[in-house]
Amino acid sequence: MSLSPPPSLAPDIQHHAALDARMVRAARGIKLLTMASWPAGLEAPFLADYARGVARLPVIDYPKHDFSDVRAELEAVANEADPDHPLGEYLIESAHSWGIAAQLLECLGTPQVTDYSVRLFGKPDVALPGQGPSTREAANHFISIANELDRELMSPAETVEISATALSLQLQRDLDDYFDTRVIDVVLDPTLIAKAAAGATRIRLRTGAAFSDYDRHQLLQHEAFVHSLTALNGREQPVLPSLALSSPRSTATQEGLATFAEQITGSIDIGRMKRLSLRIDAVAMALDGADFIEVFRYFIDAGQTQDESFASAQRVFRGVPTGGGAAFTKDTVYLRGLVGVHTFFRWALRQQKLHLCRWLFAGKMTLGDVQRFEPLFHDGVLAPPRWMPPWITRANGLAGMLAFSLFANRIRLDQMAEGDFSEIG
């Protein structure tokens, strides 16, 4: 990643490019998810005690961090940026976001983490875009639908477990075929809390986790073709190298775009929607006072294995005390981001601006960023994405799906009676 802006840029672009390089250097040490995660080795003793009828709250000893110098530099970057310039506005919001993440890491293990987490990622009671229901209400909707569906409707292929080792080989082959060379390595990681995580050139799978055929397609679309590609494309930006970083402020758009990719490629199933929704409900439970053991049992009662339930509950209590009343709220962004991205794509079609949807892959940005960056893309200041998933490059197919979605949303299901369908067929 180059941190020296090209010398031929206009003075205003050159100024903000230099500020962006400073922000990247300052933010490099703020590894929010890694630092907030639990150390490895807590699951086995907890589950062993639980099997004997003894449930003990995990106790995590977080290291102390001091980011005061980093926060001062980030504040200086924000102060020197022009709030009336699209790059300046981006830098101010990004620097403030990194600053909040640094403050969160400085108080790991305390209830204060919740406050900073809410500032970064929101809460389950936040309304969805378009003045819709709350995120938790949407989550409960998907949980209810998933519970009503009969698992016998699933095909045998959907119930066959794939080991992390086998999946890593399959994904590696898929990615090598896509790039026609080795660009991204798929590796196993025994310390990973999530089942998978993606960087620019490496996708990690949790050692020992069980996957399905659906998981393979979800990981390819979600982790590789969104999280990895946006990081790779961000690295090629000559002016804004920060677009390669997983900034906290872009998390909702990134996860929403990744989940939308699963949806539009038919890679998402109702079980996946249920898992995402259960996490949101669990965050709300923890905020309302449920402790780790209660959340762990909630996941078990919802049908997850003990191993899965521990990993799911662990996500909710990253960085916070396990006794209840606190939560790490990142998992609330998935549904909110999905609805936001889906709405943005439909809006872009209506406004004849589907190019904005493609430019979302030029780096890790928000929906607001890609709109304010439009003239910078046109002027060549920002580079278009080099790598894009196949579904976004098929403009006609994408437009057809969105056009149908726009029309279908005008049909009110609550005003339909059973007899109305006899007139159709």
pLDDT string in tens for the chain (425-residue length)? 555 556 678 999 999 999 999 999 999 999 999 999 999 889 999 999 999 999 999 999 999 999 999 999 999 999 999 999 999 999 999 999 999 999 999 999 999 999 999 999 999 998 887 777 899 999 999 999 888 875 555 555 556 789 999 999 999 999 999 999 999 999 999 888 778 889 999 999 999 888 888 888 999 999 999 999 999 999 999 999 999 999 999 999 999 999 999 999 988 888 889 999 999 999 999 999 999 999 999 999 999 999 999 999 999 999 999 999 999 999 999 999 999 999 899 899 889 999 999 999 999 999 999 999 999 999 999 999 999 999 998 767 777 777 777 666 665 545 545 545 444 44
Residue 170, pLDDT score: 94
Residue 147, pLDDT score: 87
Residue 422, pLDDT score: 44
- Neighbouring-strand partners of residue 185: 202
Residue 424, pLDDT score: 44
Residue 328, pLDDT score: 98
Please say whether the beta carbons of 227 and 33 come within 8 A.
no
**CA angle (348 as vertex; 347, 354 as ends), nearest 5:** 160
